[in-house]
Amino acid sequence: MTASATIRVAIAGAAGRMGRSLIEAVLADAELSLAAALERPGHPALGRDAGESLGVATGVRVVDDLEAAFAVADCLIDFTRPAATLAALAVAVRTGKAMVIGTTGFSIEEKQVIEAAARSIPVVFAPNMAVGVNALFKLAEIAAGILGDDFDVEIIEAHHRHKVDAPSGTALRLGESVARALGRDLAAVAVHGREGITGERERASIGFHAVRGGDIVGDHTVLFAGMGERIELSVRSSSRLTYASGAMRAVRFAAGRPPGLYDMQAVLGL
């Protein structure tokens, strides 16, 4: 790709809320061009212009053919569901194209599939691509290292009523950042919600609490509760464009990279 060429981008889930935000961000970025838009077979948006819901004619029709999309794109952005993402990943590996994955809810085994794919192609995989959220990952890790075992850690997240997984991938990533700084195994100390006679809080536990309702785009708070003081680190997203903007940075980062599994910390140089 020459210095003047744009990076050709395909968008999975193009007719969804996140897909529309991603298309809007690609169209606004002079370094990128919209090459393909994908939806699942039978979706009513198939055959329509990808920019129709935005009031823009892109000349790109929504299709359900992964092979055709990868034939004209340099990178696919996928914020859909695990099964659909893994199906796209298999085609990306076969065609040697990059992927930016913002999908959440993967099992341990599915994450291993992504890791294996990244040995063949560049993959940027992050539970949240918003720049502010990724700053929070780093700040939470630093705070945990300073505060140590004297502060209890609780992570609270809120999302719209349509979100299907809980806790969010972002909340889990925050937990991983804190656990790493404290030298704990998150799988062993995580507590998901509380109900009934739970007994006294285990000092090493890291709590997770998920709120679902309305049109909340995404709120995340890491609460460090000590004796006599509390520290709260929060980020609140009011638009999906924050995620889309980060995804554009991820696409530019992935372009021309060697195979490997990258996250937003790498993209942002953190």
2: CB partners within 8 A, 6+ apart: none
Specify burial of residue 56 (Cβ count, 10 A radius: 0-12, 13-18, 19+): middle
> Which is the catalytic residue, given 43, 138, 160, 163?
163
Specify burial of residue 18 (Cβ count, 10 A radius: 0-12, 13-18, 19+): buried
Q: Are 234 and 219 in contact (CB under 8 A)?
A: yes
Is 97 a residue of the active site? no
Q: Are 96 and 32 in contact (CB under 8 A)?
A: no
Quick one: three-class SS letters along 69-119? HHHHCCEEEECCCHHHHHHHHHHHHHHCCEEEECCCCCCHHHHHHHHHHCC
Is 159 a residue of the active site? yes
Q: Are 178 and 141 in contact (CB under 8 A)?
A: yes
> Which is the catalytic residue, given 159, 160, 209, 220?
159
Q: How far apart are CA 238 and CA 158, in angstroms?
A: 12
Catalytic residue annotation: 159, 163
